[in-house]
Amino acid sequence: METINLIIGVILLLNTIVAIVTVFKDKRDIAATWAWLLVLNLLPILGFLIYLFAGKKISKEKIFDLKSQDRIGIKQLVALQKEQWNEKELLPADLATNEARQTVRALLDIDSAILTKNNQVKIFTDGKEKFNALIDDIKQAVDHVHLEYYALLSDGIGTRLLKALEDAAERGVEVKIIYDSMGSRGQRHDFFKRLEKFGGQAEVFFGSKSAPIHSPRLNYRLHRKLVVIDGKIGYIGGFNVGDQYLGLSEKFGYWRDTHLRVVGNACVALQSRFFMDWNATIKRDPKKPQLEYQERYFPLTQGTGKTSMQIVSSGPDSDDQAIKAGYLKLIAEADDYIYIQTPYLIPDDAIYEALCLAAHSGVDVKVMIPAMPDHPFVYRATEYYAKALVEKGISVYRYDNGFLHAKTCVIDNQMASVGSANFDIRSFKLNFESNAFCYDRQLAQDLADIFLLDVKKSTLLDTDYFAQQSSWKKFKQYFSRLLSPIL
């Protein structure tokens, strides 16, 4: 028995030493460091397998590959817009408040996010309406269709969308698809065989077509949901491609999400983002030519809408956390209200403190989360932070009419953000995300109205709600919170 105890003690000691060496050899923030040490020491051996697939950082070479994909024609526009900003001519007069101007300048500096004006924007909150519009636009495409989705599944809506893309490719339209291996797990690349027969291309981001899930980079996901059609029509938001996003899942029921259809020069920024992601994806294959600037990809259009917009992206290829910075700026600039919808509420200290400070300053802060989990640990952590915000006087609502997947933030009938990034650490640091930051009083009012309609289908959570939860559920919330930096 003593020998067995000695062996176990040696194994645990070695496990601890190796865990410390493993975690500290990569530069990461202190919260993530302690979270990984907890996993590696609580789960000897198994913890290292988890770390192998989900914890290793992207190699410096891979980050360089991603950073090296220059933004087509963007640098010159950024320099010009900084000059216009100094002259106070960048935003339309009715939007040129100090708050909006400062937000625009911050995102220009942090992410080279150019501001485009006069975009026509339509809001979708229902998956059937969004995909009907998208497929109709694809049927009208004459030059190219570029798509990237976290989840692109081969079910009913996936097959219907692919058929429209196949028909487009058959009539000579250039079709290019990027999909995430983890989000589209179970997807066989044979699904795209007919598309490729007609000259279309489908590529796996950070994965292999033959075995997309067997990748030691499960922690870094392409979470964007972007489409660009003929360089003139764009889509950005939260909907993935799959039947559950149409509300056809027995588990989740109605799927409540938010997506934007954009007509105008914001498509230049969406196209630029797609170019970088496409070129980074195929860089490993010398037989595939990279996308290069051509006028047909970046047609300048005379917009007829009223929305000024910046497309902001973030991911592990940059330390700037641009979308998080944009969220912080919106929260800081609010005078009247802040309405936030997010399926995952796991803020870091900066976001948490900014929300609390806004509430203490008299701003009406309302946050809406789902009524059910799609990731158990993530949802328990979400509940933990929901309780913490309620205790600070912030109104937190539980959406009861299905599953809430929208990622929106709107302030003061003035500015708003819609995109793929949740209010969680994963979206800030680990996933590749894109959001549209919009400057349009009517659009902000419309998003605020949608939020207040959702409130009628929600339950306002209070301290009694959390106090009545079981001790086991409270334990899971506290434990999940400890893992929140790596969830």
DSSP string, 51-92: HHHHTPPPPHHHHHHHHTS--TTHHHHHHHHHHHHHTT-SS-
**What percent helix, strand, coil does the chain show, rounded to 5?**
45, 20, 35
pLDDT over 60 at 472, yes or no: yes
The rounded distance, in Å, linking the Cα atoms of 122 and 132 is 13
Confidence bin at 248 (pLDDT 50/70/90) = very high
Q: Which of 62, 176, 225, 429 is catalytic?
A: 225
Which residue ranges make up each domain of the chain? 2-56, 63-83+119-305, 322-486
Q: Which of 117, 306, 366, 405 is catalytic?
A: 405
Tens digit of pLDDT for each residue in 30-55? 555 545 455 555 556 455 444 444 44
272-297: average pLDDT: 86
Tens digit of pLDDT for each residue in 83-137? 777 766 778 777 778 888 899 999 999 998 999 999 999 999 999 999 999 999 9
Crossing angle of the two packed helices 60-67 and 266-282, in degrees rounded to 10: 140
pLDDT over 50 at 281, yes or no: yes
Residue range 63-83+119-305, CATH number: 3.30.870.10
Q: Please determine whether the domains at 63-83+119-305 and 322-486 fall in the same fold group of CATH.
A: yes
452-480: average pLDDT: 91
176 is catalytic: no
pLDDT over 90 at 77, yes or no: no
230 is catalytic: yes
146 is catalytic: no
In this structure, are residues 242 and 157 in contact, taking their beta carbons and an 8 Å threshold?
yes
- β strands within 288-432, DSSP E: 307-314, 337-341, 345-346, 364-370, 395-399, 403-404, 408-411, 415-419, 423-424
352: nearest Cα among 373, 316, 327: 327
The string of DSSP codes covering 277-310 is HHHHHHTT-TTSPPP---GGGS------S-EEEE
Q: Which of 130, 306, 329, 407 is catalytic?
A: 407
**Six-digit token string for 121:** 């924007």
pLDDT over 50 at 313, yes or no: yes
189 is catalytic: no
The tokens 């339209």 sit on which residue?
Answer: 173
Phi, psi of 246 (to 5 degrees): -100, 5
Q: Which of 126, 137, 230, 454 is catalytic?
A: 230
478 vs 401, higher pLDDT: 401
322-486 fold? Endonuclease; Chain A (3.30.870)
Number of Cβ within a 10 Å radius of residue 460: 12
Number of Cβ within a 10 Å radius of residue 235: 24
Question: Between β-strands 408-411 and 201-205, what pairing exists: parallel, antiparallel or unpaired?
Answer: unpaired
Crossing angle of the two packed helices 376-391 and 471-482, in degrees rounded to 10: 100
**pLDDT value, residue 12:** 47
One-letter amino acid at 77 equals: L
> Where does 140-257 have alpha helices with state H?
156-170, 193-197
Three-state SS at 315: coil
Q: Which of 144, 223, 306, 324 is catalytic?
A: 223
In this structure, are residues 236 and 121 in contact, taking their beta carbons and an 8 Å threshold?
no
Confidence bin at 16 (pLDDT 50/70/90) = low
Three-state SS at 203: strand
240: nearest Cα among 132, 131, 374: 131
Q: Which of 277, 317, 348, 412 is catalytic?
A: 412
The rounded distance, in Å, linking the Cα atoms of 352 and 420 is 20
406-418: average pLDDT: 96
Confidence bin at 457 (pLDDT 50/70/90) = very high
Rounded to two decimals, the pTM is 0.86
91 vs 346, higher pLDDT: 346
Q: Which residues of 429-456 are buried (b: 16+ CB within 10 A; e: fewer)?
A: bbbbbbbbbbbbbebbebbbebbeebbe
- Sequence-distant (≥ 6) Cβ neighbours of residue 467 within 8 angstroms: none
One-letter amino acid at 451 equals: F
223 is catalytic: yes
Determine the number of helices (DSSP H) and then strands (DSSP E) in the chain: 17, 19
259 is catalytic: no
Q: Which residues of 348-372 are buried (b: 16+ CB within 10 A; e: fewer)?
A: beebbebbbebbeeebebbbbbbbe
